[in-house]
Amino acid sequence: MSSVGTRSAPDTPAASDEQRTQWIVFIAMALLLAVAPAVIYPVFMMKVMCFALFACAFNLLIGFGGLLSFGHAMFIGAAGYASAHSAKVWGFPPELAILFATGCAALLGWLSGLLAIRRQGIYFAMITLALAQMVYFFCLQAKFTGGEDGIQSVPRGRLFGLVDLSQPLAMYSLVLVVFLGGFLLIYRTIHSPFGQVLKAIRENEPRAISLGYDTDRYKLLAFVLSATLSGLAGATKALVFQLASLTDVYWTMSGEVVLMALVGGMGTVFGPVVGAALVITMQNYLAQLGAWVTVVQGVIFVFCVLAFRRGIVGELGAWLKKSL
C-alpha cells in the first residue's frame, strides 16, 4: 500500500529501469507490427491487433483492478453492431462510426458498471455475465442487427474523406494507429496515480478505504475505461471484416479474452498482447480441426496454468529478474 499517494510508484531506480525496458519493448513491437504486412497476411494481423487491444482493456480491469468480468463480450460486440449499423445504414464515415461505437460502449459500460461494482468476487462476475447475456438476446431479437445473419457488407469508406480504407494497407495503418494509441493510453493509466490506487484496491480494498479513497468510484472509472477500449477494438474489427455478428457478443467471447489474459500474463503490460496473438494464431492455423480447436485450446490453457502460473510474459519477466 505504500504505492498509494499523490505520486506514482515508479520513482525508484528499479522502477525506472523497468519502464525503460518496457519502452524498448514497445518500440520493438511497433516496428514489428509496422513491417508485418510484408510477410504476414494483413487481415490476420489486423485481427490480432483488435483482439490484443481487447485483451489489454480486459487486463486493465482484472490484472490491475482485481475485477473479473465474464461479460466483456457485450462491449466488443455491441460496439461492432453500432459501428457497422452507423456506417452501412446511416452513412457515417469510418472515423465517426468508430467514435460513435466507442461512445456507445462507454455508455453501456457506465450503466452496467453502476450495477456490477456494488458486488465483489463471483457475484460481480455473475452480474456482468447476466448483463452480457441480456445484450446478446437483444442483439438476437432486434431488427437492425440482422438477427443470426448479422450486419454484412459494411462499407469501410474513406478516412476523413481522403484515405480509401478498401485498400488493405490503408486499413492496416488505421488499425495499427488505433491499437498503439489504445495501448499507450492503458500504459499511461497503469503508471499514473490512478493506476496505483487501482493496484492498492486489488491488493487490499479495506485498507484503501481506510486511507480515504472512494473505491467504488475508482472501480467504476476502471470499468468504464475498460469497456470503452473494448468497444474501440470491436468498432475497428467490424470495419476490418465488414461484418458484425452474434459471435462477438456471445458469452464464449468473454471466455476467450479471459484465456488471452491468463496465457499471456495478467497484471503485465505486454502479456495480453502475447496471449491474444497465441490464441488467434491457434484459431487460424488449427481451423481444419473443426470443433477440436476448442479441445486443443483447453489443453494448452491447462498446461499454461500449471506450468506458467504467472503467464508467459509474467514467467519470462520473473526469470529475467532472477538472472540479472
Q: What is the pLDDT of residues 78-127, one digit of tens each?
A: 999 999 999 999 989 999 999 999 999 999 999 999 999 888 888 899 99
On the CB side of 265, how many CA atoms lie within 13 Å of its CA? Answer: 17
Q: Is the pLDDT of residue 324 over 70?
A: no
Q: What is the mean pLDDT of the chain?
A: 87
Distances 78 to 48, 53, 54, 134, 238 between C-alpha atoms, Å: 19, 16, 13, 11, 10
Q: Quick one: what percent of the chain has pLDDT higher than 90?
A: 50
Q: Distance between CA 289 and CA 298 in Å, rounded? A: 14
Q: Is the pLDDT of residue 38 over 70?
A: yes
Closest CA to 257 of 280, 286, 281: 280
Task: Give the mean model confidence (pLDDT) for residues 207-213.
Answer: 89
Q: What is the pLDDT of residues 27-36, one digit of tens each?
A: 999 999 999 9
Q: In the prediction, which pLDDT does 9 show? A: 43
Q: What is the pLDDT of residues 267-288, one digit of tens each?
A: 888 999 999 999 898 888 777 7
Grade residue 292 by pLDDT with cuts at 50, 70 and 90. Answer: confident
Q: In the prediction, which pLDDT does 6 show? A: 39
